[in-house]
Chain A
């Protein structure tokens, strides 16, 4: 099962857990599963059906380019982090 490494400030929502096992083969599914396990966490990550502006996702060390559509493997580690841009923020 894929693992989500929970951002530090969201760990109070996951009972302090840093690493959470999830189900899913896309980032969207992983987020839905996280929400199932810890209701309320999704609102910090997703807005209007897409990754929240300012949030990016890294799957197995590869920075995402597809937002919620990025694929996730059985052994993947998924990180949510602040988005880095080329200038405007």
Chain B
């Protein structure tokens, strides 16, 4: 696994590959995920879900269900407080609590197949399941709007009667929740200066994060009004604050204990079952466990948007892109909030284009409310722009890597929303692909092609807390609030060990609950190693500062005279014998007490990340099946704290992108019912579908971070669909403009091309 580095500091532990500290529990089945928890007297909950895509709820009658032996409680939206339909302040992000609550239990109306209507707690999950069948719901079925085109058409069924957007004004009912625009220069002028213009319309499908572990929550409500929630989540503090809001109780009354989590990819940064588990526990006086089954996960958690993108780019015959004009509409699901603003900011982000006009629309449709999925909004967008860029390259006779280098963004280039980039690694990732063994190798054989693409994603900073405890035996523990979704505990231990000069196995990393550690934002947004790592770094430095003070006391010197290097305290002068941490810990009591280093941060974003991906494909012209022969991904990770896990993120994102490219999509029928709510027909890649994924970590250090790390978790998912489309174009000469590029679609395109060729040959 090649890595290129650029003037990086020499570290002792950072950059090594120790075995993760929670590894043994995970390979022996001992690690406890949310669904593994059990408590005495625990009841089991299940959720009744709408069988209709769009309907008014006229009445709900649970009498028969209540009478079933073993059923202990049934709740509906009537058991939750009604919250204001307004954007909630007090956070970085807009949350409409009214919508959030209505998504957890439908209020008056159901907006998608699978929308939660009621919840039951019973003595066994089977009895709870039987009880669901006995709840009588009277629906007034309404016509659904399933696509952005359906929802934006005049006379479309209106999903949310109270929804308004700024442009249409206060009196117009609409399904368009928001319009976002980015403008720079003058695209009319830009296109007039172009030697040629390419314009295409792209469609992408709704896809799911596909985490193997379904959602879960165990709620325990105590008679003193305090509740504990055990759940698999990416953000225990988000679960606390949102559950408290939905339940109408103070945040401090809820403690969230994060269990191990079986995948999230953004889909577990919101809440579904958590407040229900507390509500049912309150009603029954018992702990209540709720889990989703796979069908519920697909129908009723938060997939990401499909949508339509019209992309127009103009370039000179030398390959310089002079103008880009984009219209894009994404499916928000039943409530507003698709990632279309992010998609709009990503679509041409890797390039220095003087004239841009991007109009982006957030549209409600009768599908589940979308949630974040790894670089939300960016993958759909890149599918459009990155395939057009390859068309430009081909028209100009320029290599697909070279065109990206020619137009590539660098320090000082304006981002889509305007601010200039700081030091970034976009061009470096393209060069890494260009110089890779993969790209340099010859690709031979019929129906084979090589395509590449580049993607962009933000890395957020946000808030994290950390504590480093020095133990009596000279070892340490590091406590954070960042749920470990992919091996981040190891990175926290590595950073602590680096600062304290300890062996990495003498540092024990822990993930604490919402009372035991200070506020910490989600494990997501590619932020954990960077922001929580920063808090850990500073907490360890705080511990070092305290160690120096103790040594100063013992040696009767000033703290400024003490040095700490590689785990040893020293000072100049007679009779001062250097001490290791292990040697000073027996003296801590007499010099002031135990040492705990602490730090909290609201970290600045270190800047965005780029990934470039190259794939070789072989297309079967008789079936349209696309086989991935070889794949390489290059990503600017800054300093890789634990290279194996950085590689893992790159490989995992690439494979999700390949699934998105080739097979994954939601099939709804004409009534708006999801027809592939299982993993057989929601087809994700298996290991038989793939080769090894080659990785190249480009280490362009992030400015302003003590370790120089960049966020790595997300961006690798962005380029693959475009890279695969570009490879298919070279393999069999067809340009795919719709995702997924499943065998049927590819075959249709091949036959269409052959038909057109035959027709024009016949015409000659």
Contact = CB atoms under 8 A, between A and B. Distances in A.
Interface of A: 5, 7-9, 11, 18, 47-48, 50, 52-54, 56, 58, 60-63, 65, 77, 79, 81-89
A43 B273 CA distance: 36
B706 interface: no
A84 B180 CA distance: 14
A14 B484 CA distance: 47
B188 to A, nearest CB: 15
Given A54-B93, A61-B421, A84-B342, 4 more contacts: A11-B183, A53-B90, A85-B460, A86-B460
B92 A56 contact: yes
Contacts of B87: 52-54
A19 to B, nearest CB: 10
Interface stretch (B31-39, B517-525, B642-650, B673-681): B517-525
A7 B182 CA distance: 7
Contacts of A63: 419, 461, 604-605
A77 B339 CA distance: 26
Interface string B221-258: 00000000000001100100010000000000000000
B710 to A, nearest CB: 14
B89 A87 contact: no
A86 B524 contact: yes
Nearest to A82: B341
Residue of A11, A56, A61, A89 with most chain B CB atoms under a 10 A cut-off = A89
Given A85-B460, A87-B372, A61 B420 contact: yes
A65 B462 CA distance: 8
B525 A86 contact: yes
Nearest to A58: B419
Nearest to B606: A63
A88 to B, nearest CB: 5
B93 A88 contact: yes
A69 to B, nearest CB: 12
A48 to B, nearest CB: 5
Contacts of A61: 419-422
12 contacts: A61-B421, A63-B419, A65-B603, A83-B93, A83-B94, A84-B342, A86-B372, A86-B460, A87-B238, A87-B371, A88-B270, A89-B372
Residue of A11, A48, A79, A84 with most chain B CB atoms under a 10 A cut-off = A84
A82 B342 contact: yes
Nearest to A44: B166
B630 interface: no
Contact of A86 (B339, B418, B421, B521): B521
A82 B417 CA distance: 8
Interface string B484-515: 00000000000000000000000000000000
B92 A9 contact: no
Nearest to A84: B458
A48 B238 CA distance: 22
Contacts of A84: 342, 345, 458, 460, 525
Given A65-B461, A82-B341, A87 B525 contact: yes
B181 interface: yes
Interface string B16-32: 00000000000000000
B189 interface: no
A89 B93 contact: yes
Given A54-B87, A62-B604, A85 B93 contact: yes
B600 to A, nearest CB: 12
Nearest to A64: B604
Given A54-B94, A61-B422, A85 B525 contact: yes
A87 B422 CA distance: 24
B445 interface: no
B235 A8 contact: no
Given A8-B181, A9-B181, A84-B342, A89 B417 contact: no
Interface of B is mostly: loop
Nearest to A56: B92
B109 interface: no
Contacts of A81: 345, 417-419
A54 B461 CA distance: 16
A79 B416 CA distance: 11
A48 B183 CA distance: 28
Contacts of A56: 92
List the 6 shortest-distance A-B pairs measured between CB atoms, nearest first.
A87-B269, A86-B525, A86-B524, A8-B183, A81-B417, A54-B94
Nearest to A63: B605
Nearest to B266: A87
A65 B600 CA distance: 14
Contact of A79 (B95, B269, B419, B521): B419
B718 to A, nearest CB: 14
A86 B522 contact: yes
B271 to A, nearest CB: 9
B477 interface: no
A30 to B, nearest CB: 15
B170 interface: no
A88 B372 contact: yes
A84 to B, nearest CB: 5
A85 B419 CA distance: 18
B333 to A, nearest CB: 12
B527 interface: yes
B179 interface: yes
Contacts of B524: 86-87
Nearest to A5: B418
B123 interface: no
B337 interface: yes
A53 B345 CA distance: 18
Nearest to B531: A86
Contact of A85 (B88, B92, B179, B603): B92
A71 B334 CA distance: 40
A77 B602 contact: no
B342 A9 contact: no
Contacts of A47: 89
A8 to B, nearest CB: 4
Nearest to A83: B92
Contacts of A79: 417-419
Interface in B510-552: 521-525, 527
Contacts of A7: 181, 417
B303 to A, nearest CB: 14
Nearest to B412: A61
B40 interface: no
Contacts of A58: 417-419
Residue of A18, A47, A88 with most chain B CB atoms under a 10 A cut-off = A88
B18 to A, nearest CB: 27
